[in-house]
Amino acid sequence: MAKGMREVKRQIKSVQNTKQITKAMEMVAASRLRRAQAAAEASRPYTDKLKEVVSSIAAGSKGLKHPMLQSREVKKTGYLVVTSDRGLAGGYNANVLRRVMQEIKENHKSPSEYVIFVIGRRGRDYFRQRNISVAEEVTGVPDTPRFADIKEIAAAAVKSFENGSCDKLCLVYSRFINAITQEPMIKQLLPMEVMSEAVVTADYEYEPSAEGVLEVLLPKYAETLIYSAVLEGKASEFGARMTAMNSATKNATKMIGSLTLVYNRARQAAITQEISEIVAGANAQS
C-alpha cells in the first residue's frame, strides 16, 4: 500500500510540474499572439490595395500581356506551404499539411506533377518522412518575421513560375480568424487572377509603360502575399498554441484532482488498516 501511495504521489508531482510548464507556455503564446495578430491584420489592407492597383492597371490596359497574368496548361503545380518550426500548437500544422495532401491526392497522379516549397521545420520534416521532395525550404523564422526572413524562398517560388518550372503556384497557409479558430486555406498565387470588378475611373500614363510597371509590381505583389501568409501563419500558430496549452493546463488540473482523491483514499485505507491491526493486537493480548 505504501509503495502504491508513493507512486501516486510521484504522479501528482509530475503532473504539477507539467501544469506549470503548460501554464507558462500559454502565457508566452498569449503575449506573442497580440503582436502577431496586429501584424497579420495590418498586412491585409496593404495586400488588398496592392491587388486592387495591379488589377486596375491590368484591366485598364487593353491588350496587355504579362506572363504572371496569363493562364497556361497546367502540367506542374507549385505549392508553397507555411508551417511552424515548433509543435505543441494543437492542430495548426496538422490541418495545413492535411489540406495540402488532400489537394495533391485529388489533383495529381504522380510526384512529377507538383513541386513543394516549405516554410517551417514541421512541414519540412513531414514531407521528408513521406519521401516527398522539397525544392526549397526555410526554417528558423522568428516569432516576429521580417520580409528578409522569407525573401529567398518567396523569390524562388515566383521565379519557378516565371521560368516555366511550374504552371500554377498555390499558397497553403492558415488564415487567422481568432485565438480559437484558424482556417487552413489554399490560394492561387500565380497566375494572378485579375479582379473582374476592377473599374478604371481615370486614364493614367505609365512611365515607361504599363508593362514596365507590372514587370516590377507583379513579383512584389506575389512576394508580399507570401509574406502576409507567413504573418497569418504566425498569428494562427500562437492562437492554436495558447488554446492547446490552456486545454492542457485544465486537463492537468483535473488529473491532479483525480490523483489526489486516489491518494487520499489509499492513505485513509492504510490508516484504517493500521488501526484495525492495533485493535486486533490489543484484543489478542486481553
* Domain residue ranges in the chain: 2-25+244-281, 38-241
Q: What distance in Å separates the CA atoms of residue 96 and residue 116, rounded to the nearest whole number?
A: 14
Please report the pLDDT score of residue 213 as a whole number: 80
**Nearest in space to 183 (alpha carbons), one of 239, 125, 107:** 239
Q: pTM value?
A: 0.86
Q: What distance in Å separates the CA atoms of residue 132 and residue 116, rounded to the nearest whole number?
A: 8
The β-bridge partners of 134 are 116
Please report the pLDDT score of residue 63 as a whole number: 60
Has residue 169 got a pLDDT over 90? yes
Radius of gyration, CA atoms only, the chain: 28
Q: Average pLDDT for residues 194-223, to the nearest whole number? A: 71
Q: Average pLDDT for residues 91-116, to the nearest whole number? A: 95
Which residue is it, cell 510597371? 213
Q: What distance in Å separates the CA atoms of residue 232 and residue 224, rounded to the nearest whole number?
A: 12
Has residue 157 got a pLDDT over 60? yes
Q: Average pLDDT for residues 172-201, to the nearest whole number? A: 82
Give the range among 16-20, 65-69, 104-108, 254-258 with minimum mean pLDDT.
65-69
Question: Kind and range of the H or E element at 169?
Answer: strand 168-176
Place 64 in a pLDDT band, splitting at 50, 70 and 90. low
Give the range among 26-30, 151-155, 159-163, 265-269 with minimum mean pLDDT.
265-269
More confident residue, 2 or 249: 249
CATH 1.10.3720.10 fits 2-25+244-281, yes or no: no
Q: What distance in Å separates the CA atoms of residue 280 and residue 154, rounded to the nearest whole number?
A: 81
CATH of 38-241 given 3.40.1230.10, 3.30.420.240, 3.40.1380.10, 1.10.3720.10: 3.40.1380.10
**Cell numbers found for residue 75:** 502540367
Q: Average pLDDT for residues 44-50, to the nearest whole number? A: 88
Place 53 in a pLDDT band, splitting at 50, 70 and 90. confident
2-25+244-281 and 38-241 share one fold: no
**Nearest in space to 70 (alpha carbons), one of 214, 175, 187:** 214
